[in-house]
Structure 1
Amino acid sequence: MSFSVVIVAAGSSTRAGPGEPKPWRTLAGRPILRWSVETFLAAGAAEVVVVTAADRIAAAGDALAGLVGWRAVEGGATRALSVQAGLAALAADGQTPVLIHDAARPFVTAAHVAALLTALDAADGAILALPVADTLKRGQAMVSETISREGLWRAQTPQAFRRATLTRAYAAWPGDAEPTDDAAVVERAGGRVALSPGDPMLMKLTYPEDFAMAERLAGAARVTCIGQGVDAHRWGPGEAVWLCGVKIDHDQTLIGHSDADAGLHALTDAILGAIGDGDIGEHFPPTDPQWKGAASDRFLLHAAQRVTARGGRILNVDVTLICERPRIRPHRDAMRARLAELLALPLARVSVKATTTEGMGFTGRQEGLLAQAVCAVEMPA
């Protein structure tokens, strides 16, 4: 079933503590907003409209780089006005199901979407909700009343409605009141809203302590992938060689179409391999003249950006250079620092090592240099 999505991301996040508003903070290495958008697109959303503050339109583009099928629009002074701005921006017709979602609930799944669309078939709206499990008390400093929790539910998002139903309901809503959710708007207009089982994982990030909990939950929903890369280049006439992004004075150079930095080439392949995204030759063919003499850090940054675009993050990298000469140890710290800079990694997660083959093979005969690399990448499960 075709459906559209409006994601509300225009709030100021005052209760979340110091820092960026919630949608723009990172969770397990990717923006919180991106979690929901990726899920809805993967679940088959025909369009996703992100409603945000005017000064965050560009930030949305950065957070959602590489994704297609979404667009950002400016929101209003209240959540209700932002929802209405999102509804107005949709291309869907009046009978198309529309899911309204808070950007601060990153753990939405395709199963949640399917459950809502099924429940909407027999109602004017559908929400995910959890029965209240805790005893409810009313009072300030002292308890004044214990409230029965029977029949009480905690509403979550996304919430599903047909576009025309929700638009008409908002048109009838009194302008001097602010609804706490979209279901309340449809209820007031006489609509029937179905309850679908909610999910404790579908928590809303509100207070500073929620983010630490979300990080732990996000870790349980991610996998670690390992990639390996190998590259070799022959020696030729020259005065310097590039290795792991560092220029080393030498009586020879490595021969290649680019700058022949075997360390960066091996590491680029390791990163691409960890996400199953081909190899360096597919992304930068040696037959393409634009890469002649190119600095290999461009290749490495490209691979790292591919990881980020898929919602992953690089955990650590390890490069081994195999050669008789030049001596690597004097340059190892500079190489580690350069790789850490390029990949935005702590220095402790970057290793560069060197060894020889004690005169054996093509490296032992000083015909060429061999580089091996391994990296660990954390990806969505």
Structure 2
Amino acid sequence: MQMCAVIVAAGRGQRAGGGVAKQYRPLDGRMILARTLDSFLEHPAIDHVVTVIHPDDLSLYEEAAAGCDAAKLHPPVMGAETRQGSVRAGVEAAAALGAGFVLVHDAARPFVSPALIARAAQAARQHGAAIPGVPVTDTIVPLADGRVAGALPRSGLRAVQTPQAFRTDLLASCHARAAAEGLPDFTDDGGLVRHYGHDVHVFEGEATNMKITEPGDIEAAERRLNPGRTLMTRVGSGFDVHAFGEGDHLWLGGVRVPFGRGLIGHSDADVALHALTDAILGALADGDIGTHFPPSDPQWKGASSDRFLAFAAERAWARGAEIGFLDLTIICEAPKVGPLREPIRARIAAICAVPVDRVSVKATTTERLGFTGRGEGIAAMASATLMVPG
């Protein structure tokens, strides 16, 4: 019987940040999803590959699949609101192809090896339901009211990965039962199958089969692909100013701030994000915000400045650059920046897909001097430190 790989790529991947689902982020010049697809398309044990995607991501999927071998690759299947629903859609597509076995794999695991795929295929044929697991090296403890409530022996624990391997009819029937019974929250297919009384075997996983989840994971993956690459440190700076105008709120660092006035200027006039955008573009020697988003173009009127900063970050990723540190100084008499500091840091980190400890937000005044001192507007200065391939 034939073997179908179901690649689950319908998630939004928000923890990885960057304004685009993580499976479509570039990794050494190729989308993560493209690398994952190649691993299965090139494997002799796989007869079919079905990708489950979010309906909004069709153009991104087509870009990812453009360079892949199309001989085994079938048209994508639209996913559901939950991972469970998305997997069900992919398994039903595999069944329609006549595949007797399915390997369900996360799109965000691009380092799955040929040996691991071979073990998964063998486990599917031998057991009908099997999952890869790796030994747990850290001590795992249960908690009760924030206190340690015991200990779990590591020898009996495994960290579960994908690809998970099943008989198609078995997995399809379990998904159908769960849907009929209104049980939508299984995040793991092995757990779903076990819930309905079937044995699930564990085969050897791989510690190198990492899942890209957090912003730092992408940088780790880049270093893994290019362990000897040389990086040049570049520092760019940005400065922006906007005057107060009519309104009951303003945007500052991607955070909506209730205030008696708004800001006048390009897009939503987020002075902080504009300065950071210019700082990143400066480090790349790639013009400035006005070069890419001219204020004379009506499409940017009122636009969210998140888009500009995400664009600059994406330009950095496309160059293979790492964003090492972002430093922002906001200059104004009001609003008070102190209570906004942590929300602004978190928002900038999410947009740029970097850990929050790589973002600094400071505030100062001009001691009542100049236009900011007179309360006429807000200014911002920013610097961006990038490591760019030399």
2:5 is aligned to: 5
From 112, 126, 145, the equivalent of 2:130 is: 126
CA distance in 1, matches of 2:34, 2:40: 10
Of structures 1 and 2, the larger Rg is shown by: 1
Who is 1:264 aligned against? none
- Give deviations 1:272-321, integer Å, cap 9, x for gaps: xxxxxxxxxxxxxxxxxxxxxxxxxxxxxxxxxxxxxxxxxxxxxxxxxx
Secondary structure in structure 1 of the residue aligned to 2:211: coil
Which AA in structure 2 matches 1:218?
L
Deviations 1:16-71 (CA, angstroms, capped at 9, x unpaired): 12331111001111000011110101003222111111111121111111320222
Correspondent of 2:90 among 86, 103, 108: 86
Preserved CA contact (<8 Å) 1:130 1:197: yes
Change (3 A) 1:112 1:139: same
Match of residue 180 from structure 1: 187
Match of 1:30 in 2: 30
| Structure 1, unaligned runs of 5 or more | 224-343, 347-377
Q: Partner residue of 1:48?
A: 49
What is the identity, as a one-letter code, of the residue corresponding to 1:36? T
CA distance in 2, matches of 1:63, 1:104: 13
Deviation at 1:170, TM superposition (A): 1.0
SS at match of 1:56: helix
The reply on whether 1:204 has 2:205 as its aligned counterpart is: no
Residue 12 of structure 1 and its aligned partner are, at CA, apart by 1.4
Equivalent of 2:170, from 160, 165, 170? Answer: 165
Residue 355 (structure 2) aligns with? none
Q: Give the counterpart of 1:214 among 199, 208, 221.
A: 221
Contact 2:84 2:184 in 1 (8 A): no
Residue correspondence of structure 1 range 204-283 to structure 2 within 5 A: 204-219=211-226
Task: Verify the 8 A CA contact 2:190 2:200 in the aligned structure 1.
Answer: yes
* Preserved CA contact (<8 Å) 2:5 2:104: yes
**Runs (4+) of structure 1 moved beyond 3 Å?**
138-143
Q: Which residue of 2 is the match for residue 105 of structure 1?
A: 109
Tell me, what secondary structure is at the counterpart of 2:141? Answer: strand
| Deviation by residue 1:226-251 (Cα, 9 ceiling, x = unmatched) | xxxxxxxxxxxxxxxxxxxxxxxxxx
**Distance in 2 between residues matched to 1:88 and 1:62, nearest whole Å:** 25
Mapping for residues 268-347 of structure 1, pairs under 5 Å: none
Partner in structure 2 of residue 238 of structure 1:
none
Rounded to whole Å, the distance in 2 between the matches of 1:154 and 1:206 is 15
Mapped to 1, the partners of 2:155 and 2:147 lie a distance apart of 19
Aligned Cα root-mean-square deviation (Å): 2.6
2:197 to 179, 190, 198: 190
Partner of 2:295: none
Superposed displacement of residue 9, structure 1: 0.7
TM-score by length of 2: 0.54
Give SS of 1:50's match. strand
Shift in Å, 1:146: 3.8
1:193-217 residue CA offsets vs partner (Å, 9 max, x unmatched) = 2211111111111111111111122
Q: Which residue of 1 aligns with 2:67?
A: 66
Q: Which residue of structure 1 lines up, in the alignment, with residue 156 of structure 2?
A: 151
Count the aligned residue pairs.
227
CA distance in 2, matches of 1:106, 1:117: 18
What do the CA deviations read for 1:324-347 (whole angstroms, capped 9, x no partner)? Answer: xxxxxxxxxxxxxxxxxxxx879x
Aligned residues of 1:120 and 1:126 also touching (Cα < 8 A): yes
Q: Residue 79 of structure 1 aligns to which amino acid in structure 2?
A: R
Deviation for aligned residue 1:89: 1.9
Q: Distance in 2 between matches of 1:135 and 1:208?
A: 25
**Is contact 2:131-2:161 (8 Å) kept?**
yes
Equivalent in the alignment of 1:283: none
Q: Is the 8 A contact 1:116 1:128 kept in 2?
A: yes
Secondary structure (helix, strand or coil) at the match of 2:127 reads coil
CA change 1:140–1:204 in 2 (3 A) is farther
Q: Secondary structure of the equivalent of 1:147? A: coil
* Aligned-partner residue type, residue 29 of structure 2: G
Question: 2: CA distance between counterparts of 1:119 and 1:47?
Answer: 18
CA distance change for structure 1 residues 172 and 33 in 2, over 3 Å: closer, same or farther? same
Paired residues of 2:133 and 2:203 also in contact (CA < 8 A): yes
Provide the identity percentage: 38
Letter aligned with residue 61 of structure 2: A
Secondary structure in structure 1 of the residue aligned to 2:111: coil
Partner of 2:296: none
- Write the letter of the residue equivalent to 1:78: T
Aligned-partner SS, 2:35 = helix
The equivalent of 1:285 in structure 2 is none
Instruction: Write the deviation string for residues 82-114 of structure 1: whole angstroms up to 9, x where unpaired.
Output: 0111112224326x1111010011101211111
**C-alpha distance in structure 1 between counterparts of 2:57 and 2:83, whole Å:** 16
**Contact 1:124 / 1:191 at 8 angstroms: preserved in 2?**
no
Aligned-pair distance for 1:140?
Answer: 8.2
> 1:152 is matched by which residue type in structure 2?
L
Partners of 1:120 and 1:24 in 2: CA distance: 29
Checking the alignment, whether the CA contact within 8 Å between 2:164 and 2:189 is kept in structure 1 is: yes
